Structure 1
Amino acid sequence: MHILPIASGKGGVGKSLVAANLAIALAQAGKRVVLVDLDLGGSNLHLVLGIHSVPAGIGNVIQQSSVQLNDVLMPTDYPNLLFIPGDAEIPGIANLNNKQKLMLLRRMKQLDADYVIIDLGAGTSFNTLDFFLSSSHGIIVTTPTPTAIVNAYLFLKNAVFRIITNNVKRKSPGGEYLERVKKEGTQLQRMNITTIMQQLQLHDPDSYSKVSQALTRFQPRMILNMLEDPKDAQKANRLRRSCSQYLDTELEHLGIIYRDDLQDVALSSRLPIISYKPNSVLSQALYRIADKVLQSTEDDEDLMDIQTIEESYANAGIEAEIDFQAKIDYIEDLLHAGALSTGDLIETIKNQQLEITQLKKQNMLYKTKLVKAVQQGYKI
């Protein structure tokens, strides 16, 4: 059984939509899939699946020791796919203690499924990071916007530091070194991973060995969502370079997904896009990602070599070009068939130009803040 946690550095990047549609695609491939809503405090994944009300969920499992995860499994309209709701309305559900967290992880690993897909909340809380690290190959969803890319990097950075602190005992020489760094006023997360590992090797070889093994197993994957242009695919390389240079972590590229207004129509109809329009460019991109997941999880313990990661980024660029041309061809077909009037086409272009203008403003704001930060001597 494979656990696939799906996270994001910030909200609004389409994480839940990816989780739901990926779960359906894997189920359609004949795999037994359980989709878990662990966006605790803000769970709404049931709405994406078209489920109007949930009788019980994660909150009942946490608050009542007699309730098991199997007791809150819900059938869906999709064969091979079961769903566990999150219960956002239960007060305090987002603030799990360590015992509750370990209990949920243990029970999820006991589910009768080929894949357990976990939709996590956005951000870098310890609970989110620990659920993300329940698999060596967690998926982070981001978009080409500068803020989303930075937040995705910060999420992975927090995950790496969580791996370090989880594998160094507090009272060990390495633990004492980390505590000393904190007390001296040097923020741990501003330090380079290489420096920390060198100091661990010097002060605590046993902890260094343990952390090194854990970091070697950490091989996260990325999905770049809401593309507008094939050039957007290149922005993933910046994230990859930052992870490689500063986190000593290689980030695999699972694929790209273009922005499509059909997604909003499908969502308002309470239907996942794969069910609403399976032949759309968006749906085909999700099926393509599902195929990669199926191929890569044949042996979850295999370490991915650098050549395979290089190929994943090259393929993403090719996929961006192909899908962009498919979008253009689709619009032309609608126009020639009379299903799309000239006025509709003009309105579509106007909306795209407005979105591009907003992105440019956001980019300028980000650049201004970055310049100020550099001038003030701030280092990431």
Structure 2
Amino acid sequence: MRSRDSFPTPEKPSKRRICMSRPPDSPTRSATSPPGSNGGAPKGPALWAVAGGKGGVGRSLLVANMGIQLARLGKKVIVADLDFQGANLHTYLGIGRPAKSLERLAEEKESSLASLLLDTSVSGLKLLSGAPQSFAPNQRERILQRFFGQASSLGADMVLLDCGSGRGGDVLDPFRMAGAGILVATPEPASVESIYLFMESLLGRVFESPLSSDDQEKLEIARCLDEGAGEGRSSFRAALERLRGEGETRLVDRIQESLRPFRLRLIVNQIRSDAEAEIAPMLRSGLDKYFGLELKCLGCVEYDLSVQQAVQKRKPLSQQYPNSPATQGIERAVSTLVSPSRAASGEALLLHRNLGELDLYRLLEVPPGASSKEIQAGYQVLKRAYDPENSFRHPLLSNSQVQRLASMLEAAYRTLIFLETRTDYDRKLVAQGVLQADQVKASEAEGTPPARPPTPPTPETVSAVPVSARDDSQQAPVKEAAASRSSQVPGEGLPVTGATLRQHREAKKMALETIVEKTKIRPAILEALEEERFADLPEPVFLKGFLRQLAACLGLDPTVICREYMRRMEPPAAQDEPRAQ
């Protein structure tokens, strides 16, 4: 009897041929159903290809652990290692030398994908392992033909493809053929540049089939015409605007139609600070302004030492360290990925209008009802993103192009940040039918709060007793009690101990289960922490993270709580040493 999470074996593998120069006719989903969803009647799994443009961004680790998290949500998941140059996805799943791999397809020893699926330690998760050696171009083509031809019969809900690193055809083809891709970046200039260069190469691969050689030449000429000093290429979006201005509307329509099926997502890995997390909105804005493509961010994954320890132990991160910050970041990204999203089949692409024709709200990437603080915060991010001296920028564009875009953003900001000019602009948008009247009222009301009702003046009373002679003894206990209450906080007047942390939690009427739900820290660890059973606590590198999470949940200073509690765990001699100095 087959178990609930088993995958059915297809009766007969598909013999369908797939052209390598264009995406397949979506054998895994209907034409109107966006990637990542199963539409009305599911015809196959949702395919998500994962690539990063360069190595070292944690792509394979993310694929493995995203598969684990999806399986925990009750999905039937397959993770496929399509890294044709260095397949190692099995390592991140805790599997040694795979018994079966795609090598059998390349050597034509096997024709069925389902027979190559390997069980993992996670129920509902299967692995399609890659081969340790590299493949010849004809072997890669054969593997991709059979993979995408049989994907609809694998009986899975989702398939994650590890596409490898680089910008060669062996990476671009599976990413393009999947139709839905997840880009992985790290907060490093080289990684951000690789994302932009990957998109440039991907677009070139996409247009090989739908565009004739003459059309491709027209597009290339439009991209080579830089309005600045000529030290760079025009952005893809600027090139389409130039073609549209020259009357090449049919060519622009064909280009847009070729890009319509694509859905792009982003994960920023190895984040150490909030400043590094700004890479996500910068890349999202860059793909909008430079390529006219929508890039939705799934989330950021923190830099975590537990990742290295899990890899060294050859154990899946999500199983070995389920409460680590990196695991929680991956869990949040998966939740965003599977959350229902608006179907985009009938929506116009961002490319359908020139950049200069967009309204100022759309240009600054803020909603029409945004407050002044939101407009200012959004502009500051864009200002840093389009600074010509910024290290995280498109490497092929000239400084003059970036500066022109920065000038457009500054002009939009100056119009929207002042109430008078914003009100006039909103009224124009209402007259044009772009905004609704209620949105204008919201913006007009901002910054001009309703006047307070007048309060009757109270007659000034003069005490007959001199100030120096007044008895404030009754007020002193009240002040002392207030000061005492404000100081009864661990780390601020109270020592940081397990008992004081428990008392503070109980004073805030937070049950232990509430802390567990918010921080994902196991109850046994929280109990050992409050009872100061140091022998039952995890290693310091993980305990520090738990202490910071607990402090943030309780409204305490994470740095102080972590430092003082870790100090209590030190031997007495180590505690006295700083005082002796």
Q: Name the TM-score class by shorter chain.
A: 0.7 to 0.9
Match of 2:422 in 1: none
Partner of residue 328, structure 1: 548
Give the aligned residue type for 1:73.
L
State how 1:21-40 maps to structure 2 within 5 Å.
21-40=65-84
8 Å contact from structure 2 (residues 292, 349) kept in 1: no
Q: Compared with structure 1, are the counterparts of its residues 111 and 199 closer, same or farther at alpha carbon in structure 2 (3 Å cutoff)?
A: farther
**Larger CA deviation: 122-131 vs 4-13:** 122-131
Give the aligned residue type for 1:174.
Answer: D
For residues 257 and 143 of structure 2, the distance between their equivalents in structure 1, rounded to whole angstroms, comes to 27
Residue of structure 2 in register with 1:5 after alignment: 49
User: Given the superposition, is the C-alpha separation of residues 72 and 151 from structure 1 closer, same or farther in structure 2, using an over 3 Å criterion?
Assistant: same
CA deviation vs aligned residue, 1:128-185 (integer Å, no higher than 9, x gap) = 1121123343101110111111111211222223223332134xx424646888999x
State whether structure 2 residue 288 is matched by structure 1 residue 267. no
2:299 to 250, 255, 275: 255
Map of 1:376 onto structure 2: none
Q: 2:189 matched to which residue of 1?
A: 146
TM-score normalised by structure 1 residue count = 0.74
Tell whether 2:161 aligns with 1:118: yes
State the match for 1:174 in structure 2: 215
Q: Are residues 1:105 and 2:148 paired?
A: yes
Q: Superposed, which structure 2 residues align to 1:121-270 within 5 Å? A: 121-170=164-213, 173-175=214-216, 177=218, 190-194=233-237, 196-197=239-240, 206-270=250-314
- Return the match for 1:45 from 89, 96, 99: 89
One-letter identity of the residue aligned with 2:311 = L
Tell me: CA distance 1:293–1:194, structure 2 relative to 1, closer, same or farther (3 Å).
closer
Change in Cα spacing, 1:166 to 1:264, as seen in structure 2 (3 Å) is: same
CA contact (8 A) 1:40 1:93 kept: no
CA pair 335-63 structure 1, distance change in 2 beyond 3 A: farther
Given that 1:136 and 1:218 are in contact with CA atoms closer than 8 Å, whether structure 2 keeps it comes out as yes
Point out where structure 2 has 5 or more consecutive residues left out of the alignment. Answer: 1-44, 226-231, 351-361, 368-376, 382-518, 521-543, 551-557, 572-581
Q: Distance in 2 between matches of 1:231 and 1:283?
A: 21
Counterpart residue identity of residue 316, structure 2: P
Indicate how the Cα distance of structure 1 residues 340 and 208 shifts in structure 2: closer, same or farther if over 3 A, else same.
Answer: farther
CA deviation map 1:28-54 (0-9, x unaligned): 100000010111120011111111111
2:114 corresponds to = 70
| Cα distance change of structure 1 residues 339 and 158 upon mapping to structure 2, 3 Å threshold | farther
Q: Which amino acid aligns with 2:94?
A: G
Q: Please say if residues 5 and 139 of structure 1, whose CA atoms lie closer than 8 Å, have aligned partners that are also in contact.
A: yes
1:41 and 1:93 in contact (8 A); partners too: no
2:337 is aligned with 1:290: no
Q: Percent identity?
A: 25
State the distance in 1 between where 2:170 and 2:547 align: 39
Deviates more, 1:125-134 or 1:247-256: 125-134
Contact 2:222 2:243 (8 Å CA) reproduced: no
CA distance in 2, matches of 1:33, 1:12: 25
Superposition map of 1:357-376 within 5 A: none
Structure 1 residues 286 and 4: alpha-carbon distance in aligned structure 2, compared to 1, 3 A threshold: same
1:104 alignment partner, SS class = helix
Alignment deviations for residues 8-64 of structure 1 (CA, whole Å, 9 cap, x no partner): 011111111110000000001000000101111200111111111112211211220
Unaligned runs of 5+ in 1: 343-380
Q: 1:59 matched to which residue of 2? A: 103
How far, CA to CA, are the matches of 2:298 and 2:135 in structure 1? Answer: 34
* SS of equivalent to 1:86: coil
Residues 185-244 of structure 1: per-residue CA shift (max 9 Å, x gap): xxxx93432354357666875553232123233331110100111111112232223212
Please give the alpha-carbon distance, in whole angstroms, between the structure 1 residues aligned to 2:138 and 2:223.
25
Query: Do residues 86 (structure 1) and 315 (structure 2) align?
Result: no
1:191–1:108 distance in 2 versus 1, CA, 3 Å: farther
1:100 deviation in Å? 4.5
1: CA distance, partners of 2:212 / 2:143: 21
Which structure dedicates a bigger proportion of its chain to helix?
A: 1
Q: What is the deviation of 1:268?
A: 1.3
- Count of aligned pairs: 328
Contact 1:38 1:119 in 2 (8 A): yes
Q: Which amino acid aligns with 1:92?
A: F
1:157 aligned partner, one-letter code: E
Q: State the distance in 1 between where 2:249 and 2:563 align.
A: 65
From the CA coordinates, give the structure whose radius of gyration is larger. Answer: 2
